[in-house]
Amino acid sequence: MSLVQNPILPGCYPDPTICRVGEDYYLVTSTFEYFPGLPVLHSTDLVHWEQIGHVIDRPEQLNFDGIASSGGLYAPTLRHHDGVFWLICTLVDQADDARGGNFLMTATDPAGPWSDPVWLDAGGIDPSILFDDDGRAWVHGTRLATDPEWFDQTEVWLRELDLRTKTLVGPEHVLWTGAVRGAVWAEGPHLYKVDGAYYLLAAEGGTEFHHAISVARADHVTGPYVGNKGNPILTHRHLGRGMDVVGVGHADLVEGPDGSWWAVLLGMRPYGGYHYNLGRETFLVPVVWEDGWPVFAPGVGRVPMQVEVPFADDAPLGLVQGVTSGVVGPDDVRWTSLRRPASSFATPRGDGWELRMSQETLADAGTPAFLGVRQQHMDVAVTATVSADLQPGEEVGLIIRQSEHDHVRFSLTAGPLAGESGAVRAELDRRIVAIARQRGVETVLGEVSVSVDGPVRLSITARGQEYKLCAALNGSPFTVAVADGRTLDSVTTGGFLGLWLGAYATSNGRPTATVARVEGFEYNPA
């Protein structure tokens, strides 16, 4: 038996969905505007997870161009049926409702390749799918209630799926409008059939502090559904904002090969006040069945920071948990870009990258020359050596990214020198600059002139909510600025994301042929 630390997937791994095939578990989470999208993770014990691929790894599968931060891919559901893996998900474009929608994808190998999406004639978000034991399949999801009793009341709908044509057929059924009167956003619904009864699991309260998990039961898949008298069956909202985990919800159930039941769900860990820079993370809790109902975290009633998993392997936690320190090489599964493949601007070189400098900036909802990894630890340092033959206005460096509107850039940049009279001279002034962008407004946190050419070693060291930005020339480190992490998390900025730490290069809108180098990018938890 192993005592396992929660969360099982630290960092921004929200909306977990899980299924088991034999002895193997597979899990997928939301990724919003990041590419590749929807990571597929594999485990044999629910604890040690290895990323084996992505569902979205080809630009022709989905078009993310112009989708703003915290739009994109929401709340997938992963299931296995008759030798095929099925993934159902929502693409959200907050600026253009007509662009997004719900879609299905399939694969015979969860590592891929996955099919192109099949779009469904269904509105709303957070779709799920149930394969019944009579051979029929049922798609369900959530949307704003057609005839709401209160503001932001939602309803869970259900329609049959024709597995041959992958189209919705037959009449629509409204299953649920929420367990608690006045509760908003009955979202993340999943249906299960256990011992002949149908169970509807749904989150309520919005995916933040008031998040909660409720359950209802029916004799027929189309209902009527009767709620558990104990609803919500799991929440932390009554415990206050000072708890180590808040906002728990959006759960998915799985049965182990030994007959035990488990739930994966999201939650956030505040620190430095009510801020959760790591975003919504994936947690594990045991589940038992009593009187025909699931009981989450029996005997505790909350998400514990440690979970006993009887069949867990004693092997060290793996790469995804972020325990592995050191250089994040070009083939590391943690790298992501924005909206399109990194191959459009990046070429692996040794233990780093050549970045073809982009005119796009980190303030644009496009594909800037950016590569990043999730921040998975409250205390962590990332470092990299950057270099380039910079032209005026160009920059290459590190970034703490929340969104286009909110981030901190720490870069080597160049601009023309001014003479004593103010006249511009031909030489370039190389500077190391730290810039905070908050709600679209940029402020210089610090800058230092660099008197010599050549590579510069940059580092971002997070100790709680303090992010120290340091540089080193010829081995001599110095601090350029300190950024306040409390200005970057989603509590302050809005949206649904945790922070990413990465490298970037931009010409800030100017035509350019400059190629920057980023070498030896390291991620080292304290």
Q: Which of 29, 33, 26 is nearest to 362 (CA)?
A: 33
Rg (CA), the chain: 24
Residues 6+ apart with CB under 8 A from 61: 105, 114, 116, 117
CA dist., res. 338 & res. 346, Å (int): 12
Residue whose tokens read 């969905």: 17
CA 2 to chain centre: 27
Q: Cα dihedral sign for 291, 293, 298, 301? A: negative
Residue 285 to residues 39, 258, 419, 443, Cα–Cα distance (Å): 21, 16, 65, 43
- 162 among known catalytic residues: no
Residue pair 373/523 in contact (Cβ under 8 Å)? The answer is: yes
Residue 238 to residues 177, 242, 291, 301, 317, Cα–Cα distance (Å): 22, 11, 25, 12, 32
Q: Which of 289, 324, 321, 284 is nearest to 306 (CA)?
A: 284
Find the catalytic residue in 93, 155, 160, 187.
187
Lookup: tokens for 111 = 């590592």
- Phi/psi zone of residue 521: left (φ > 0), alpha (ψ -120 to 50 degrees), beta? beta
| Residue 28, amino acid | V
Please give the DSSP secondary-structure letter assigned to residue 228: -
Residue 161 to residues 216, 223, 447, Cα–Cα distance (Å): 22, 17, 59
- 155 among known catalytic residues: no
Element of type H or E holding 491: helix 490-493
Lookup: tokens for 164 = 């041959």
CA dist., res. 331 & res. 329, Å (int): 6
Residue pair 156/188 in contact (Cβ under 8 Å)? The answer is: no
| Residue 11, amino acid | G
Residue whose tokens read 């922070």: 499
Find the catalytic residue in 15, 394, 406, 489.
15
Q: Which residues are catalytic?
A: 15, 187
